Structure 1
Amino acid sequence: MLGSLRSIVQEVNTARDLPAVLDIIVRRVREVMHTRVCSVYLRDKQSGNYVLMATRGLNQNAVGQVHLAPGEGLVGNVVTREEPINLEQAEAHPAYHYFPATGEERFSAFLGTPIIHHRTVLGVLVVQQAEKRRFDEGEEAFLVTLSAQLAGVIAHAEATGALATIGQQRREAKFDGIAASPGVAIGRVHIVAPQANLATVPYSCCMDVDAELELFHQALANAREEIRAVGERLKDDLNREERALFDAYISMLDDSSLAVEVCDRIRQQVSAPRAWAEVMLEHVRRFEAMSDSYFRDRAADVRDLGARVLMHLRQQQQSQRDYSENTILIGEELTAAVLAEVPREKLIGAVSVKGSANSHVAIIARAMGLPAVMGAQDLPYETIDGADIVVDGYRGELHVHPGAELRRRYDSIVAEERELARNLDHLASLPAETADGHRVRLWVNTGLMADVVRSLERGAEGVGLYRTEVPFLLRDRFPSEEEQREIYREQLQAFAPRPVTMRTLDIGGDKALAYFPIEETNPFLGWRGIRVTLDHPEIFLAQVRAMMKASLGLDNLRIMLPMISGLGELETARKLLERAHGELVEEGYDIAMPPLGIMIEVPSAVYQARELAAHADFISVGSNDLTQYLLAVDRNNSRVASIYHALHPAVLRALQEVVDAGHAANTKVGICGELAGDPGGALLLVAMGYDVLSMNATNLPRVKAALRAVRKADTEKLLQQIMGMHCPEQIEETLRAYMKRIGLKALLQPVGGQ
């Protein structure tokens, strides 16, 4: 049944709308399982009831008319039990409920499985048979597997169906994601073109048929030219059969019947990408159904050709777009490079369908002061290009086509945000110290030149983390030593004489270079951070040479090593740094040897913190990765985002252990994870004894305001109370209550939060 399962899911993925999805499900499941009836019941969000939405075998007039509350009837029992119900004689079950409209009295055998998405029962998939029999284990397993496969698709399709109506009636629609960067943005959606995948092209209409036809023919011409150029370039390396494949591609693109099929659909006001995807997928399925293995193998060629043309269609659509003055960037998986493509003065918010609040792009968004929502998996993003939207980075909410009342409410929140920021402006020139005189260094995390002015305006006393990977991510090749020197010089000069801590190249995990791909099954436990650069000393040496040359005459450079897991890595890196320094001195540069520090990000470093601190000039905790590794939670995975908690007791104990170990070795200890930029978290870190808190510039005034409002002695009592607690929710609530009690509610929960 695996082939049938794949086939059904593929058909569902290419369906035009929710009714089409449901029809495919009931029709195909009934065929595959050879049953008389297949029905789908879906949850109505308003009433909470489950409504018969599609059926093959029951009375069609019952669709939309049969409503079941959770626990009512067999379907309602599947909902409340959240597991399959398999009955030989359904009418004998005490929960059986008869609905005359369905005509289901003719059917005895019943198998119902819940369709669950994010712990919510979205619906129930039911098959029925006239004769009394129990569906066997294989059939039950198939239906359970199919329900699990379809859960996300149905959630997405429900949203798409809702938005199709909104597109006509301009009604509001709300979607939930993960709050990733605080703030509110009200603007216009700009979709980042997704990968060229025929199966995920949504159904959409075009208003200007002639323009769409021109777009299609131009994409065909571009694809033909591309294939000819590739074939010509490779002709000496290919045999005759392989060269023939390029000719076959061009022949298909020249095939007038193929173009006619697509043009006919465009004339019916179907968008060019969708029309092309529909036609090509139909051809793919025909090839896959052929008995001859040679022709079945050609299905992959057809799919590849379709993807090539689709890519050109996407590129042309994007090239014809201008960024609006209030651009909200939305994509399946945003990257730092994508954010950098939009003029900074026009970009006001970001939304990523994938990712979490602690993914790299979310951190960049916070550094840029962009309200952002990650993990908005149910957002039918490809269908809302150009729509008005509100991004609520506090609650993790998205409001598409906001009405006048909603806009007024969010406009007032934006106004309150500005007022709060103005009220904190005066703190920029004041020291970061507690009410009883304990001094703390507040530094910033940077990666873009745009951060510099904002950081200095907010009173940054230095840079605790300069992400050197950002310039690497924004290029299509490794930057040269001189290019790096110029970039680093700008940062060092802008903050001089304040210290600037430059982290050596930290790639791998969720930070991939297109020109240096790292393909791994488990990238977060793989080749990343210091492991990459120690394996490629030419990269490391060029980078630290560029850093030291950039610091000439400024002497405010500190170098920090990421992902250190043991003493050997630190010692190897130090030898390379000393070698690079020696080379520069020989070349005539009068440069002091910069301090060399490490990041504590993995559990092994926590337990070796004292030895590492004794051999490092400073240490800094990267609490984002440390939390990820301690809790075994991929911080980019929205499915487990709720488990990632920076205030988990294990994390707090590790943080305390690191700072104690560092001070025992007379080494300064800082922290540059997101916890440092949370006003409540900052109070706990100061109580633990951290010397430096490094954060994005946006949060710096809030943290300073919190520190100046408390006595260190009081934060130590709070910490002692919290360290005795066993669950993060209790810790968070205690911290919230404390801050409210001392009058810091506005800092704890930004204006607009609940």
Structure 2
Amino acid sequence: MLSTLRSIVQELNGINNLQDALDTIAARVQTAMHTEVCSVYLYDDKSGCYVLKATEGLYKSAVGQVRIAPSEGLVGLVGTREEPINLEDAQKHPRNRYFPETGEERFGSFLGVPIIHHRRVLGVIVVQETQNSRRFDEGEEAFLVTISAQLAGVIAHSEATGAIGGISISGDQARDVAFSGVAGAQGVAIGTGVVVFPPADLDSVPDKRCEDVDAEIERFRAAVSAVRDDVEQVGERLAPQLRPEEQALFEVYLRMLHDHALPGEVENRIREGLWAPGSLKAVVNQYVRHFEMMGDHYLRERAVDIRDLGRRLLSHLQEGESETPEYPERTILVSDELTPAMLGEVPQGQLAGLVSVRGSGNSHVAILARAMGVPTVMGLVDIPVAQLDGRELIVDGYEGQIFASPSTELKAFFESIIEEEQELVKGLEELRDKPCETLDGHRIPLFVNTGLITDVVRSLSHGAEGIGLYRTEVPFMINERFPSEQEQKAYYREQLEAFAPAEVTMRTLDIGGDKALTYFPIVEENPFLGWRGIRVTLDHPEVFLVQIRAMIKASEGLDNLRIMLPMISNVSEIEEAQHLIYRAWHEVRDEGYQLAMPQVGVMIEIPAAVYQVREIAARVDFVSVGSNDLTQYLLAVDRNNPRVASLYHSYHPAVLQALCQVAQDCHDVGKPVSICGELAGDPGGAILLLAMGYDALSMNASNLPRIKSVIRGIDMDMARGLLAEVLTLDSPHVIRSCVELALRKAGIGRFIRPERSGSGVRELAASRE
């Protein structure tokens, strides 16, 4: 079973055309299960029916013609129940319905299994036999269930590729093709996709047409010649160290580079109009699939050699590329994994949005995107990147979605969002120098989260009263080594001077999890529960002490520094860190610096710390809640994983109860408590936090004017009443609806962001009119 399954999946991985993939599934499953019929039905959102898309055993003329509603037939029943149905005599089942155009009246035995991907029923796969008395056994049913589960992702990917190309399941023109990921930077952008890819990465090469076939062939032949020379030189250099059978490997490489082998097939593709890198990718993938499906272990291993050869050829092709990508006026930069260098290649003023398959909301690119104010979506699943080049795209950085091939209605909807955002920002500019206080005079400072000096410029222009979280890992991430004490001091001084005399809270180095340093790699099976934050720096006091000394020296003459410790899980970590901080402070004073001991606080991000807040707060000067990490740890949901993104909810009752407890316990021991995280920058969340008693809110600079306007539009009675109401509710979605209703009643409903997703966009657009 495993061998058969592997060969089917490997064959399908190289098929981008949805119909070809479905035909292959039907043929291979029919053969593997020795059945008379195997058919694949896919659900068509537009018609609301299951459409026969491929079959082996039924009449081919029925493909694309037979449509089954979820309420009719056994196929509809399988899809509705979302579980297998195994019948030895389908004729006797009350839901049975024959479709004469398929010729299925001959077949009695029936086994149908739903094809489900991320909770979405994509379709149904069915096998049938003429023998009425035969019931498919448990092993056969288990095999078909396994096939279905494994192929769901392949079908989803092929379906997406076809949809982006403009063809839906029903064969109609596809529009508003949506992909969900993780919000990296807020905002909406409409523009043209430009796919960029890292060096020598065949999988990320986009499909492009070439204008000059002869020139493209010459370019490829030059790459083949260069690789052939490289292989010969390496073979000669290593010959004295290798046995004859090992030297034969280089002969294999040279044979594959013969004109009648791989290069000849690549040139044929180029003559069909595909550019050289894309032609190379297609041929290499074809060779790899061929070798991987071979029964002989030695031959299967040759797939590795093919991949290596493909990367070498691509590397030389890329060296010979003189053309730089053409960046449209509204460029949506797309890559498997975006890097800061890629952003810098786009001419100033032309970068409208970013799309990265990998990465998270805390990655360096996401931080940079927020500083630049560029809408960004990251962590997308099942998205055919190569198909997005040159396509019109919409990036929704609020909901973490992108839309390809947008319809006129969808574009108009998002254009209205952009216009509203621009008008809203203009209307909020006058609030910059006004205090953040409620209608009844309750004052609460609004701080900002920063990482780059560009953040500071935006923060000051938006009226920030200080820095609630300065991410000191950013200077570490943009270096190729640990920054020296002097280099760190310069970074920190910029931030401290910009906001003096207002407070600047600097979090000590917080790496690990999804924040990695190339020169200090941390490889773990579960990085979010591993070596990160304070755990790393306490294990490396030489790094911690240099950073603390740089912070303290940078604050000379300003005295507005506050030091914050991340990922605290017990009081012993605080005591150990404080010992090192006091040591660094005394060392700095011994060098002649005259300054006061900075305040030291902690971040509450781990559930264990919630239950020890009193003991923790008694040992420090202040407490700040990292609501993003606290939420993901409380809910056991990786907030950067789009597969479980729907389970991450800041309005979850457990999260709100924990936040209430932290605020109450800190005040009981007389310590100030603030919060930095996405909830603080959410209009409804800010009201709830205000009612809980938080002393300050810290957020991204772009959210600050909006939150100030919200707070200035309510009074404390309204906030406390809303908090009391939501604490009685048990569903995050009900809580969100309750909060949004309260904002509308208070006349500040314009700050609520409409929820937008997939097929519901048009209905939402209509509801706004």
8 Å Cα contact 1:14/1:201 also seen in 2: no
Name 1:635's counterpart in structure 2.
639
1:61 aligns with 2:45: no
What residue number does 2:767 align with?
none
Q: Deviation per CA, 1:232-274: give whole Å up to 9, x if none.
A: 9x96997668984884575356433221121112212234344
1:385 corresponds to: 389
* Partner residue of 2:682 out of 668, 678, 681: 678
**How many Å separate the matches in 1 of 2:497 and 2:246?**
56
> Counterpart in 2 of 1:174?
177
Q: Output aligned runs, 1:360-375, within 5 Å.
A: 365-375=369-379
Kindly state the Cα deviation for residue 614 of structure 1 after the two structures are TM-superposed: 1.2
Q: Which amino acid aligns with 2:498?
A: A
Give the residue type in structure 1 aligned to 2:471: R
Separation (CA, whole Å) in 1 of partners of 2:137 and 2:528? 41
Q: Counterpart in 2 of 1:418?
A: 422
One-letter amino acid of the structure 2 residue matched with residue 390 of structure 1 = I
1:157 positional shift:
1.2
Distance in 2 between residues matched to 1:645 and 1:116, nearest whole Å: 24
Quote the offset at 1:440 in angstroms. 0.9
Picking from 268, 288, 294, the partner of 1:264 is: 268
1:448 matched to 2:449? The reply is no
Match of 1:477 in 2: 481
Aligned to 2:32: 32
Question: Deviations 1:586-643 (Å, cap 9, x if unpaired)?
Answer: 3333343322211100011111111111111211100000000111111112122111
Q: What letter matches 2:81 in structure 1?
A: R
Alpha-carbon deviations, 1:646-668, whole Å to 9, x = none?
Answer: 11111111111111222222221
Q: Taking structure 1 as reference, are residues 337 and 662 closer, same or farther at Cα in structure 2, changes over 3 Å only?
A: farther
Q: Which deviates the most, 482-491 or 438-447? A: 482-491
Task: Name the structure 2 match of 1:99.
Answer: 99
CA–CA separation in structure 2 for the residues paired with 1:601 and 1:310: 45
Q: Find the counterpart in structure 2 of residue 326 from structure 1.
A: 330
Shift of 1:473: 2.5
Contact 1:672 1:695 in 2 (8 A): yes
2:468 counterpart SS class? strand
Q: AA paired with 1:113? A: V
Does the 8 Å contact 1:340/1:474 carry over to 2?
no
Q: Alpha carbons of 1:727 and 1:412: their partners in 2 closer, same or farther (altered >3 Å)?
A: closer
Aligned residue type for 1:532: V
How far the C-alpha of 1:506 sits from its partner, in A, is 1.3
Name the residue aligned to 1:4: 4
How far the C-alpha of 1:218 sits from its partner, in A, is: 5.3
| Cα offsets for 1:406-429 (capped at 9, x unmatched) | 544443432222111111111100
1:543 partner amino acid: Q
- What CA distance in whole angstroms lies between the structure 2 residues aligned with 1:742 and 1:285? 61
- Give the counterpart letter for 2:177 in structure 1: K
The one-letter code matched in structure 2 to 1:57 is G
Alignment of 1:224-263 (within 5 A): 244=247, 247-248=250-251, 251=254, 254-256=257-259, 257-263=261-267
C-alpha contact (below 8 Å) 1:355/1:637 kept by paired residues: no
Q: Provide, for residues 326-364 of structure 1, a one-character-per-residue CA deviation record: whole Å limited to 9, x for no partner.
A: 222233455677656656643322234456778886566
Q: Which amino acid aligns with 1:255?
A: H
Matched-pair contact (CA < 8 Å) for 1:220–1:253: no
Q: How many residues were matched structurally?
A: 753
Which residue is equivalent to 1:154?
Answer: 155
Report matched runs for 1:687-726 at 5 Å: 687-726=691-730
- The 3 A distance-change label for structure 1 pair 202 and 418 is closer
Counterpart-to-counterpart distance in 2, 1:319 and 1:528:
42
Displacement after TM superposition at 1:721 (Å): 2.0
Counterpart CA distance in 2 for 1:676 and 1:505 is 22
* 2:468 is the counterpart of 1:464: yes
Select which of 578, 588, 597 maps to 1:574: 578
SS at match of 2:618: helix
* Letter of the structure 1 residue corresponding to residue 9 of structure 2: V
User: Which residues of structure 1 form unaligned runs of 5+?
Assistant: none
Looking at structure 1, the residues matched to 319 and 396 of structure 2 have their Cα atoms a distance apart, in angstroms, of 30
The reply to whether residue 434 of structure 1 matches residue 438 of structure 2 is: yes
**Separation in 1, partners of 2:376, 2:385:** 15
Q: 1:664 to 1:536 in 2, by over 3 A?
A: same
Distance in 2 between residues matched to 1:481 and 1:571, nearest whole Å: 24
| In structure 1, distance between residues paired with 2:574 and 2:144 | 54
1:557 equivalent to 2:561? Answer: yes
CA contact (8 A) 1:359 1:636 kept: no
For 1:598-613, list aligned pairs within 5 A.
Answer: 598-613=602-617
Shift of 1:715: 1.2
CA distance in 2, matches of 1:50, 1:469: 51
Q: Residue 504 of structure 1 aligns with which residue?
A: 508
Q: Which amino acid aligns with 1:177?
A: S
SS at match of 1:434: coil
Separation (CA, whole Å) in 1 of partners of 2:240 and 2:482: 28
Equivalent residues in 2 for 1:125-164, closer than 5 Å: 125-132=125-132, 133-164=134-165
Q: After TM superposition, give the deviation of residue 365 of structure 1 in Å.
A: 4.2
Matches of 1:381 and 1:652, distance apart in 2: 38
Tell me the TM-score normalised to structure 2 length: 0.90
Distance 1:659 1:82, change over 3 A: same
SS in 2 for 1:429: coil
8 Å Cα contact 2:231-2:254 kept in structure 1:
no
User: Distance between the aligned counterparts of 2:624 and 2:193, measured in 1?
Assistant: 38
Q: Tell me by how many angstroms 1:58 deviates.
A: 1.3
- Please state whether the residue corresponding to 1:432 is helix, strand or coil: coil
What pairs up with 1:298-309 in 2 under 5 angstroms? 298-309=302-313
Q: 1:627 to 1:405 in 2, by over 3 A?
A: closer
Give, in whole Å, the separation in 2 of the partners of 1:226 and 1:686.
66
Give me the whole-angstrom Cα distance separating, in 2, the residues matched to 1:15 and 1:281.
10
- Structure 2 Cα separation of the partners of residues 312 and 119 of structure 1: 43
What is the aligned partner in structure 1 of residue 77 from structure 2? Answer: 77
SS at structure 2 position matched to 1:642 = helix
Q: What residue identity is the alignment partner of 1:609?
A: V
Which structure 2 residues correspond to residues 724-743 of structure 1 after superposition, within 5 A?
Answer: 724-743=728-747
Which position in structure 2 is the counterpart of 1:621? Answer: 625
Q: Is the 8 A contact 2:363 2:515 kept in 1?
A: no
Distance change >3 Å, CA 570–CA 230, structure 1 → 2 = farther
CA drift at 1:111: 1.2
- Could you say what the CA RMSD is over the residues aligned between the two structures, in angstroms? 3.2
Whole-Å separation in 1 of the counterparts to 2:288 and 2:636: 41
Write the letter of the residue equivalent to 1:143. L
Report the CA distance between 1:31 and its aligned residue.
Answer: 1.5
Q: Mind listing any 5+ residue stretches in structure 2 that lack a counterpart?
A: 765-769
Q: Structure 2 CA distance, aligned partners of 1:603 and 1:340? A: 40
Q: Does 1:20 align with 2:23?
A: no
C-alpha distance in structure 1 between counterparts of 2:278 and 2:330, whole Å? 28
* Distance in 1, Cα, partners of 2:17 & 2:292: 25
Q: Judge conservation of contact 1:628–1:634 (CA < 8 Å) in 2.
A: yes
Q: Assess, with a 3 A threshold, how the Cα gap between structure 1 residues 392 and 529 changes in structure 2: closer, same or farther.
A: same
Query: Structure 1: how far apart are the matches of 2:173 and 2:301?
Result: 46
- Over the matched positions of the two proteins, sequence identity in percent amounts to 57
Compute the TM-score of the two structures, normalised by the length of structure 1: 0.92
CA shift at 1:705, angstroms?
0.7
Q: Matches of 2:241 and 2:585 in 1, distance apart?
A: 49
The change in CA–CA distance for 1:164 and 1:289 in structure 2 (over 3 A counts) is closer
Q: Quick one: distance in 2 between partners of 1:433 and 1:307?
A: 60
Contact 1:413–1:751 (CA under 8 A) maintained in structure 2: no
| SS of equivalent residue, structure 2 residue 273 | coil
